[in-house]
Structure 1
Amino acid sequence: MDNTVQIPFGERFIQYLAAERRLSPHTVAAYERDLTAFVLFWNEYEARELGEADIDAITPDQLRAFLGHGARAQLSRATLQRRMAALRAWFNFLQREELARDNPAKRVASPKSPKRLPRAPGQEQTAFLLDATAGNDDDAAPQDLPGWPRLRTLRDAALLELLYSAGLRISELCGLDRPDLDAQAGEARVLGKGGKTRLVPVGPPAIRAVESYLRERARLQPTIDPLGPIFTGRQGKRLNPREAQRLLQKMRKRLDLPESLTPHALRHAFATHLLQAGADLRAIQEMMGHASLSATQKYTHLDQAAMARIYDSAHPRARRRSLRAAG
C-alpha cells in the first residue's frame, strides 16, 4: 500500500478482498488505487487528512463530487464505475466490522454505460479462422528447436478450437493442466472467476486437436511434464494470455480478418451460435461460468430471422399455425 497516503482501515480491507472475497490481485490493486484517489481528493476537498475518525463524516455529496472530479479529468465510464464499486465495497466492509454507521455509497448512482452488443463472428468466419490456423505452418524452423513451426501450428489450432468449443476466457484456457481435460468424457474442469470451478463440455474436434498437439509435443519436447500445462511456449513454460492474444492478432493480419476477432470474440461466438441453434440460455450461463443470467444475455443477441426460426420450431401455437398454413 502507498505509504504516503493512508486509507483508513486500508490494510484490513485489502486483506479482506484478497482472503475472503478472493478477488484477483489485479482487482485488489485497482480497488486500492481507487481508494487512494478518493483519500487524496477528500484531503484536498476538506483541507485536512482523512482519518479513521472521519469515516462517518463522509457524505454522498462528497462521493458525487469525487466522481465529478474524475469525469472532468476525462476518466472512462468503466473507471468511474469501478471507483464506485471500490467505495461501496469499502463501506460495506466498514459497516460489517462496525467501523462505520452508514454506507453513503449506496445513495450514489454509478455512471451508466451505453449498451453495446459484443461483436461475435459468424459461423462461416469462425470456421474459416479455425481451418486457416490448422494449415499455418509456413515459418522457418528456429535453430534451437527443429520442428517447432509444426508444433506451434498444432498448438494454435488446438487453442482456438478449445476456446470456441468450450466458450472459455483466455485466462481460463491458459490455466488448464492436462488432468483438467477428460478426453473420454468430452469435458474440461475450468477454474473461473472468483476461484469457482465448473465442468464444461468439449466437442470432438477440439479434443482431437488437443491430443494431436500433445502427442507431437511429447515427441519434440519430452522433458515437459505431461501432467503440467496443456498450452506451453517454445521454452516449455505455460503460455500466458498475452501470448495467446498475439497469435490471434497475427492470424487476423495474415487472413485480413477484422480487429474485432479477438480470443474473447470466440467466447461470444460460442454463446451466440449455441443460442441460434436453440440452446437453453441457462445452460449457456452455466457453461460460461456467469453468476447471473443478465451477464449471459449480453453475449446472445440474435437477428430477428434466427429468433423467428426458433420460435416457429419450439412454440406449440407456432407449430399448429405452420401446420394449418401447410394444409
Structure 2
Amino acid sequence: MTRVLGAWERHLAVERDLSAHTVRAYVGDVAGLLEHARRLGLAGVEGLDLRVLRSWLARQQSSGRSRTTLARRATAVRTFTAWLARSGQVPLDVGSSLASPRPHRVLPAVLRRDEAEDLVRAAAERADDGSAAGLRDVAVLELLYATGIRVGELCGLDVDDLDAERRVVRVLGKGRKERSAPYGAPAAAALDAWLAGGRPSLVTAESGPALFLGVRGGRVDQRAVRSMVHRRIADVPGAPDIGPHGLRHTAATHLLEGGADLRAVQELLGHASLATTQRYTHVSTDRLRRAYRQAHPRA
C-alpha cells in the first residue's frame, strides 16, 4: 500500500500538475483510508470495495468531521480509485458509486465598496514616505482587488506578465491554465509607482523577473502577502478580518452587484465550473435581503 500511495502522489504532482497543497491534502486523505483498510485486515488495494470506503467515511463522520471535510475526502478517494482502475491495479473503479454529503457552503465575508476604497486609501497614506515596501503593498492590494486573482497567482507574476498599454495581466492559474485579467486606472497607477520607485530599490541579482519582491530582493512570499493584507484590513474601522482570498471574494461580489455577466466573472476568476462562481450571487442576494429588511417599512 505504501508503494501504491507513493506512485499516486507522483501521479498527482507530475502528471496532473496539482499544487503542493492539494497533493498533500489528497495523499493525507487516502493514507487515512489505507490505514483504515489495513486495520480491517486488507493486505493490498485490490481488497478495497464500497463497503470499506463507506465504513471509512462513516468513521470520519462519527468523529465529528464537517460536511466540507467529508466531501473533500470522498473526492480524494474517488480520484484514487479511478486512478487505480485506469492504471490496471484493480479491475473495477469501486469508488465511482461512493456518495458524499454536499459541502456546507458558508457565504464568504466581503468588504463593502466604501471599505474597499478605505483599504487602499489607508495603505496609500502609509506609503506617503515613499518606501519601497509601502509602494509594493499598495500595488498588491490594488491588483488583488482589481483582478480577483489568487495570492499564489499574484506571487508568481513576472514583470513581463503585465501589459500596461492594455491594462491586462497574464495569470498562470490552477492546472497551469493561462488567463488574462484586466485591471483599472487605480491599479495601473499603483503598479507604475511600484515599478518606477519601489522595485528598483529592492531588486538584487536573485530577483529575476519577479514582479513583486520581498525586502531581501527575492520573490515575495505568500505568507508575507497574507500578513500584510490582514494588517492593512485592521486600518479600516468595522471591516471584516479578511485575507487575500477575501479580496478575491470582494472583487467577484462587486462585479456581480455592478451587473457583470456571470460567465465573464467565471473567466476572470479562472473557475473551472460555473457553479463555483454562482455562490457569489448568493452573497449579493443575502445583502439585498438585509438591505430590504432594514429599509422597507413592511419587510
TM-score (norm 2): 0.88
Equivalent of 1:35 in 12, 18, 30: 30
1:241 counterpart residue number: 222
1:152 equivalenced with 2:142 (yes/no): no
1:267 equivalenced with 2:257 (yes/no): no
Contact persistence 2:5–2:31 (CA under 8 A): no
Cα pair distance change 1:200/1:130, threshold 3 Å: same
Deviation at residue 206 of structure 1 after TM alignment: 0.6
2: distance between equivalents of 1:161 and 1:21? 32
2: distance between equivalents of 1:296 and 1:305? 17
The list of structure 1 runs, each at least 4 consecutive aligned residues, that deviate by more than 4 angstroms after superposition, is: 224-227, 304-307
Which residue identity lines up with residue 303 of structure 1 in the other structure?
Answer: T
Contact persistence 2:229–2:243 (CA under 8 A): yes
Equivalent of 1:125 in 115, 131, 135: 115
1: distance between equivalents of 2:92 and 2:3? 15
Which residue identity lines up with residue 19 of structure 1 in the other structure?
Answer: V
Deviation at residue 256 of structure 1 after TM alignment: 3.6
Which residue identity lines up with residue 152 of structure 1 in the other structure?
Answer: A
1:51 equivalenced with 2:44 (yes/no): yes
1:116 equivalenced with 2:98 (yes/no): no
Equivalent of 1:69 in 56, 59, 75: 59
1:172 counterpart residue number: 153
1:253 counterpart residue number: 234
2:79 counterpart residue number: 89
Cα pair distance change 1:59/1:305, threshold 3 Å: closer
* Matched position secondary structure for 1:231: coil
1: distance between equivalents of 2:65 and 2:108? 22
* Matched position secondary structure for 1:216: helix
* Matched position secondary structure for 2:170: strand
Deviation at residue 99 of structure 1 after TM alignment: 2.1
| Percentage of matched positions with identical amino acids | 36
Deviation at residue 189 of structure 1 after TM alignment: 0.4
* Matched position secondary structure for 1:198: strand
* 224-233 or 152-161: bigger deviation: 224-233
Task: Name the count of aligned residue pairs.
Answer: 288
Which residue identity lines up with residue 287 of structure 1 in the other structure?
Answer: L
Cα pair distance change 1:222/1:82, threshold 3 Å: closer
2: distance between equivalents of 1:232 and 1:70? 42
Equivalent of 2:209 in 219, 228, 237: 228
Q: Which of the two has higher C-alpha Rg?
A: 1
Which residue identity lines up with residue 51 of structure 2 in the other structure?
Answer: D
2: distance between equivalents of 1:152 and 1:24? 28
Cα offsets for 1:299-327 (capped at 9, x unmatched) = 233238969xxxxxxxxxxxxxxxxxxxx
Deviation at residue 225 of structure 1 after TM alignment: 7.1
Q: Structure 1: give runs of 5+ residues left out of the alignment.
A: 1-5, 139-146, 308-327
Cα pair distance change 1:92/1:304, threshold 3 Å: closer
Q: Structure 2: give runs of 5+ residues left out of the alignment.
A: 290-299
2:92 counterpart residue number: 102
Cα offsets for 1:98-149 (capped at 9, x unmatched) = 22222222222113222322222111111111111111148xxxxxxxx7x7
1:14 counterpart residue number: 9
Deviation at residue 79 of structure 1 after TM alignment: 3.0
Contact persistence 1:218–1:226 (CA under 8 A): no
* Matched position secondary structure for 2:8: helix
Cα offsets for 1:8-66 (capped at 9, x unmatched) = 633332222122211112222222222221111111123xx5225xx1x3222221111
